[in-house]
Amino acid sequence: MRIAYFDCIAGISGDMALAALIDAGADFDEVRGHLAKLPLEPFDLELAEVEEHGIRALRLTVRTSSVGVIRTYGSIRALLDEAERPPEARAIARRIFRALAEAEAKVHRKYVEAVTFHEADAVDSLVDVVGTAVALTLLGVSRVFSSAVPTGLGMARTEHGAMPIPSPVVVELLTGAPVYSKGTAAELTTATGAAILAGCVEGYGELPPIVVDAVGYGAGTHRLDFPDVLRVILGREGPVPEPTASRPVS
């Protein structure tokens, strides 16, 4: 059974999650091919290799032009059902977006079906969520775990004005998860990143006992005094090996 462990060194965003999984071995062209089947406005994916405090990582950028379209969760759910992709990936994407819509509905006191997403945000989130779901499926991941989640602190500017960090939606999505600010004045964990955790992760804490197969790093966009990366560790479930006796020094 293959396990993925999200090591949230600097939090998590949708772009970071997808980039880390691609860096860990998910085929970028195959992921992009599945995303191209989504009935969305035109968008471009840019993947670049960067260095974060000595750590090589991939940075993914989703570029789209907004035309003022507003999508409801109901229309996004229909879009997810229509798109051609592996059944496992479809189920993962549904869980993630359902978690996001339910959190938005609770925060804004709306019915889930009436939750709305502006076009640019919706396209970005859909690409990140569906891409992450496809990447997990391509990598054969059966179980997902995560470290404690740093959120950042302070205030962020949004279209609705100043918003606390973590945002109310992020707090709702991470209910029950171990979180901390890391003492950093930046939004380390976004709503899409938190939704990926809420929709996929079955437990939080230390790295579980696994035999490591691969590791990938997805870079964020903040300038921090520590690596702005999400690390994904892939491995097979296995027993903890017995410690080997140290050889006496002659």
Summarize the confidence of residues 144-151 as an average pLDDT.
98
What's the whole-number mean pLDDT along residues 115-142?
Answer: 89
Q: Which helix (H) or strand (E) holds 81?
A: helix 73-82
pTM of the model: 0.93
Upper half-sphere CA count for residue 41 (Cβ side, 13 Å): 17
Considering only residues 9 and 72, tell me which one the structure prediction assigns the higher pLDDT: 9
Identify the pLDDT of residue 250: 43
Q: Quick check: is 63 in a domain?
A: yes
Domain count, the chain: 1
* Residue 217 confidence (pLDDT) above 60: yes
In 123-160, the DSSP E strands lie at: 141-146, 149-150, 154-158
222 pLDDT band (50/70/90 cuts)?
Answer: very high
Is 66 within a domain? yes
Q: Quick check: is 244 in a domain? A: no
In this prediction, residues 118-139 reach a mean pLDDT of 88
pLDDT at 193: 97
Burial class (CB in 10 A: 0-12, 13-18, 19+), 175: exposed
What pLDDT shows up at residue 158? 74
The reply to whether 242 falls in a domain is no
Domain-located, residue 80: yes
Q: Which domain holds residue 92?
A: 2-237
